């Protein structure tokens, strides 16, 4: 027994030592602003989504620390403080416990990230409970501020919710295709897919009441095989097939669907598909309607900030940035914009300044105008895919840009009510 | 760290459920079923009936698990070895499929639970968390003590006999089926308690709770920690959780590899689990460590 005790105490001191080593670097610098970055680092969403987002976080934070970002972000750090980071994997069964750990053990000042609506739904109340400045960078579902946290204090989202993507997609379809009479869809069976389809079909119905729904499929997320769903859609022959698939599922749908002629029979609209462009290239059929959830990737505006981002990202990682990278960058810039404006690195001050803020990102102007200034609206664009064999690169053409006020509901109006009411208050050019 | 102890106690109770079945030589690859039933029963009660009292939620979770396990027990008690493992796995995946396609329950996203109240007392913030933590400690230790009593009861010993030679158990005039049925139900109850408490700590449930990967983890913990004592699964889950936390911290991109290596090394060097570290020195003496659950904390 004595030996066991000795063993245990050795083990305990070893564990203590590990803790000490782990804690040491954080005390070294004087004024630091510690950011927890959460992104998919493993699992099916890592390759197309999580890794580009993490790369962008590294790039922006390094540049911000060095003060090499273009104006107006050319001051070093966040509100004068140097930024340090803790990166964690979103692909974890203990998402909430990991969040609590970032706050309590790592003592972060702010947390940015989260891509999956499932994660966001679970984390949203936790962020408010722990009173920690949390900026969701992706997450599509409008439920976050419309149902789960209705009076946000600490929680922000710097990306428009799924309503924007689908209202814009519906407008694009109705405007560019003269003779739409039937629509169908294939969406994942969870909040993001269900909300996306609901918003799209309601929007189309609102814009053109002669359109009918034929076939709607809801396979499970990360299913990977869509043979029977594609058969059903081929059978129903809708004029338009809508899908909000993302990441690996999206790539599977493109490969399986194009092989079986789905893209030839129907006009396919993919609301979150720019991530597939550098990865699939010629495999995406020409003419497919491509969305990037905002002015990201191929739709990025020609500003100094956007061009700097594309070049710096390409130089460092050897590939073009895709929408998750833009979205992550946008959420970090949001904190920097609020901190610089109030000239403080205190999270309490930052969250005050961030509410209702309008700031510039590499995807154009972002207005924190919904949910008491905690939910952003941005402009977005749609176009059709065109693969250029000569350069070996995919591009978009027939691009139409929709202003933020045109495709996002006004403050204090729920997404569904707004669409059903015929987009009251929408300002479109 | 309190948060991780808390979380690991919830999952530890499910591992306890797996462990008592292992005593009878039965490996349940679907213990996530009752973990999920507990969590969802509590969650749905809170969501649809607006009840947030911890004791009511616990009771409903336990009753749901009891009813389901009593029915399924009639089927499962007839199977052993791989057939038992596969059947439990299949049943848990049926629930997974059902929940994943039920939009009212949030599909694969699941839904959120409220902060629990205690017989009309509704603490919030730090007080609320400490209260839930202390209660979880008491319940986990209570379960461990109760199961320890069970393992030392006649049916508990019958279980060990079933593992060694079931035919002889039947010849001696005891029903192996009955013993398995009771063990299965007990495992279900303790797992559902774990499910309710775990869900309340995290404030969220999703179908992943009954996915085979989650169930596999419980089996893994039981193997890792060994089945020598009821304290082993509780300590095992905690150690696994700590290893995971540090693995994520040291290498956020390849933390699964560190976790896997630790598991592999444990299996190679401690084939009887972590608990054998404590019992190795007193091999000559028969094991009698009834007061062990205190070591769970």
Q: What is the mean pLDDT of chain B?
A: 83
Q: Which residues in chain B are contacts of A14 at CB distance < 8 A? A: none
Interface check A261 vs B, CB under 8 A: no
Distance from CA of A49 to the nearest CA of B (A): 14
Q: How confident is the model at residue B1 (pLDDT cuts 50, 70, 90)?
A: low
Cβ–Cβ gap A42/B103 under 8 Å: no
CA–CA gap between residue B189 and residue B64 (Å, rounded):
9
Measured between alpha carbons, how far is A159 from A171 in angstroms, rounded to an integer? 20
Chain A residue with the nearest C-alpha to that of B109: A118
A10 touches chain B (CB under 8 A): no
pLDDT tens across A368-387, in order? 988 888 999 999 999 999 99
Q: Does B112 touch chain A (CB under 8 A)?
A: yes
Sequence-distant (6+) residues with CB within 8 A of A309 are A59, A300, A321, A326, A329, A362
Total-model pTM: 0.80
Q: Is A153 an interface residue toward B (CB < 8 Å)?
A: no
Nearest to B103 among A101, A126, A194 (CB): A194
Residues in chain B closer than 8 A to A218 (CB atoms): 101
Which positions ≥6 away from B31 have C-beta within 8 Å? B14, B17, B18, B21, B88, B92, B187, B191, B215, B218, B219
* DSSP secondary structure, A316-368, as one string: HHSS---HHHHHHHHHHHHHHHHHHHHT---HHHHHHHHTT-EEEETTEEEEE
Q: Does A218 touch chain B (CB under 8 A)?
A: yes
pLDDT at B19: 87
For B202, the closest of A96, A105, A194 (CB atoms) is A96
At residue A146's C-alpha, the angle toward residues A143 and A152, to 5°, is 110
The ranges of chain A with pLDDT < 50 are 1, 4-5, 8, 11-29
The ipTM estimated for the assembled molecules is 0.73
Q: Do B106 and A4 touch (CB under 8 A)?
A: no
Give B202→chain A minimum CA distance, Å. Answer: 6
Q: Which residues of B touch A101 (CB under 8 A)?
A: 3-4, 245
Confirm or reject contact between B253 and chain A (CB < 8 A).
yes
Q: pLDDT category, B195, cuts 50, 70, 90?
A: very high
Sign of CA dihedral A367, A190, A50, A345: positive
| Chain A neighbors of B258, CB-CB under 8 A | none
| A304 min Cα distance to partner chain B (Å) | 32
Distance of CA B9 to the CA centre of its chain: 9
pLDDT of residue B244: 81
């Amino acid at each position: 027994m004595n030996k066991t005790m000795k063993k245990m105490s050795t083990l305990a001191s070893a564990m203590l030592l590990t803790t000490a080593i782990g804690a040491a670097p954080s005390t070294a610098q004087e004024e630091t602003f510690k950011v927890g970055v959460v992104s998919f680092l493993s699992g099916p969403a890592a390759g197309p989504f999580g890794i580009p987002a993490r790369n962008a976080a590294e790039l922006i934070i390094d540049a911000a620390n060095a003060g090499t970002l273009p104006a107006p972000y050319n001051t070093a750090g966040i509100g004068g403080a140097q930024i340090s980071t803790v990166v964690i994997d979103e692909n974890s069964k203990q998402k909430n416990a990991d969040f609590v750990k970032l706050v309590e053990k790592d003592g972060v000042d702010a947390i940015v990230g989260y891509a999956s609506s499932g994660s966001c739904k679970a984390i949203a109340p936790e962020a408010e409970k722990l009173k920690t400045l949390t900026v969701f960078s992706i997450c599509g579902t409008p439920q976050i501020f419309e149902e789960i946290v209705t009076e946000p204090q600490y929680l922000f989202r710097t990306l428009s919710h799924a309503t924007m993507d689908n209202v814009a997609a519906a407008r694009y379809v109705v405007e560019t295709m003269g003779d739409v009479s039937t629509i169908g869809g294939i969406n994942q069976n969870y909040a993001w897919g269900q909300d996306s389809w609901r918003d799209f079909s309601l929007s189309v119905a609102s814009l053109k009441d002669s359109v009918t729904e034929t076939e709607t499929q809801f396979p499970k997320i990360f299913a990977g095989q869509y043979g029977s769903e594609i058969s059903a859609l081929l059978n129903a022959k809708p004029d338009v097939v809508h899908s909000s698939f993302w990441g690996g599922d999206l790539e599977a749908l493109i490969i399986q669907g194009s092989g079986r002629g789905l893209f030839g029979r129907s006009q396919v609209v993919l609301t979150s598909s720019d991530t597939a462009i550098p990865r699939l290239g010629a495999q995406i059929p020409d003419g497919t309607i491509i969305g990037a959830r905002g002015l990201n990737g191929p739709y990025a505006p020609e500003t100094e900030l956007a061009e700097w981002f594309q070049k710096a990202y390409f130089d460092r990682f050897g590939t073009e940035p895709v929408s998750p990278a833009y979205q992550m960058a946008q959420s970090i810039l949001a904190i920097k914009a609020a901190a610089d404006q109030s000239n403080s690195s205190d999270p309490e001050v930052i969250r005050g300044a961030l509410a209702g803020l309008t700031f510039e990102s590499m995807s154009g102007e972002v207005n924190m105008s919904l949910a008491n200034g905690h939910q952003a609206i941005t402009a977005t664009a749609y176009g059709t895919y065109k693969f250029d064999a000569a350069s070996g690169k995919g591009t978009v053409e027939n691009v139409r840009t929709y202003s933020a006020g045109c495709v996002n509901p006004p403050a204090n109006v729920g997404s569904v009510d707004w669409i059903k009411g015929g987009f009251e208050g929408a300002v479109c050019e | 760290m309190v948060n991780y102890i808390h979380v690991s106690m919830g999952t530890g109770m499910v591992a306890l459920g797996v462990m008592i079945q292992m005593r009878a030589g039965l490996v349940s690859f679907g213990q996530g079923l009752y973990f999920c039933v507990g969590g969802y029963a509590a969650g749905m009660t809170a969501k649809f009936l607006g009840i947030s009292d911890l004791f009511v939620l616990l009771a409903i979770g336990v009753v749901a698990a009891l009813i389901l396990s009593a029915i399924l027990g009639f089927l499962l008690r007839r199977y052993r070895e791989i057939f038992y493992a596969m059947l439990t796995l299949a049943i848990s995946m049926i629930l997974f499929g059902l929940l994943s396609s039920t939009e009212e329950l949030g599909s694969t996203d699941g839904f959120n639970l409220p902060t629990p109240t205690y017989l009309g007392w509704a603490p919030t913030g730090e007080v609320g968390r400490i209260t839930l933590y202390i209660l979880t400690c008491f319940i986990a230790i209570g379960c461990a003590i109760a199961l320890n009593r069970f393992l030392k009861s006649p049916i508990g010993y019958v279980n060990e006999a079933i593992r060694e030679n079931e035919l002889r158990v039947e010849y001696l005039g005891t029903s192996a089926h009955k013993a398995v049925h009771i063990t299965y139900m007990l495992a279900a109850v303790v797992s559902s308690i774990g499910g309710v408490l775990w869900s309340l700590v995290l404030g969220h449930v999703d179908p992943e709770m009954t996915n085979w990967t989650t169930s596999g983890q419980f089996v893994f913990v039981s193997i890792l920690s060994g089945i020598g004592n009821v304290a082993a699964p509780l300590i095992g889950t905690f150690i696994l959780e700590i290893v995971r936390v540090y693995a994520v911290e040291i290498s956020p991109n390849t933390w699964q590899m560190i976790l896997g290596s630790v598991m592999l090394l444990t299996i190679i060097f401690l084939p009887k689990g972590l608990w054998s570290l404590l019992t190795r020195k007193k091999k000559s003496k028969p094991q009698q460590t009834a007061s062990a659950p205190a070591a769970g904390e």
